[in-house]
């Protein structure tokens, strides 16, 4: 099997460092999973998530001209999940719990179909609307204090 960028293959963890994990790929090739690509959550110690000899699925991120192969475990896991299942479950959990994020902000799932510029524009618009709303709410209370 020829390795190609974007393909998902089985691999065996052969080494663990502070910055990533080395794995053995099919045909005896070696690759590295950077610490940021080990899990979908923050990883402080790779040893908390992987162990030498463990079989994992990895997605090929890049193959350098020098033969170095960059891999991702978390992106391979994303591919395995049925589309929309995790978002639906997360949305139901938020509805059921009625909880909001820090500061009472209602978090929305990340939309991969939006460009960075679109996300920034949306953020600025939302921010401006919230600031206007806050200012309108503060003005009456300031007037009362002045009138005293």
Tens digit of pLDDT for each residue in 130-141?
Answer: 888 777 775 444
Candidates 22, 24, 54; CA nearest to 37 is 22
Q: How do strand 55-63 and strand 69-72 relate by DSSP bridges?
A: antiparallel
- pLDDT tens profile 40-73: 888 889 889 999 999 999 999 998 888 899 999 9
pLDDT of residue 22: 94
Biggest CA-to-CA distance, the chain = 82
Return d(Cα 108, Cα 87) in angstroms, integer: 10
Return d(Cα 37, Cα 21) in angstroms, integer: 10
Q: Which helix H or strand E contains 148, and what residues bound it?
A: none
Global pTM? 0.52
Higher pLDDT, 111 or 140: 111
Strand, helix or coil at 61? Answer: strand
CATH fold for domain 8-80: OB fold (Dihydrolipoamide Acetyltransferase, E2P) (2.40.50)
Token pair recorded at residue 50: 């992987």
């Amino acid at each position: 099997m020829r390795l190609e960028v974007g393909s998902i293959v089985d691999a065996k963890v052969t080494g663990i460092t502070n910055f990533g994990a080395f794995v053995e790929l099919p045909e005896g090739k070696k690759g590295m999973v950077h610490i940021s690509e080990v899990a979908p959550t923050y990883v402080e110690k790779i040893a908390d998530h992987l162990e030498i000899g463990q079989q994992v699925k990895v997605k090929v991120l890049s193959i350098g001209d020098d033969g170095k192969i960059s891999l991702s475990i978390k992106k391979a896991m994303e591919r395995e999940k049925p589309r929309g299942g995790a978002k639906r479950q997360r949305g139901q959990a938020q509805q059921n719990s009625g909880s909001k994020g820090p500061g009472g902000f209602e978090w929305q799932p990340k939309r991969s179909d939006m460009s960075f510029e679109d996300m920034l524009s949306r953020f600025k618009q939302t921010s401006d609307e919230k600031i206007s709303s806050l200012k309108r709410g503060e003005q009456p209370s300031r007037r009362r204090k002045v009138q005293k």
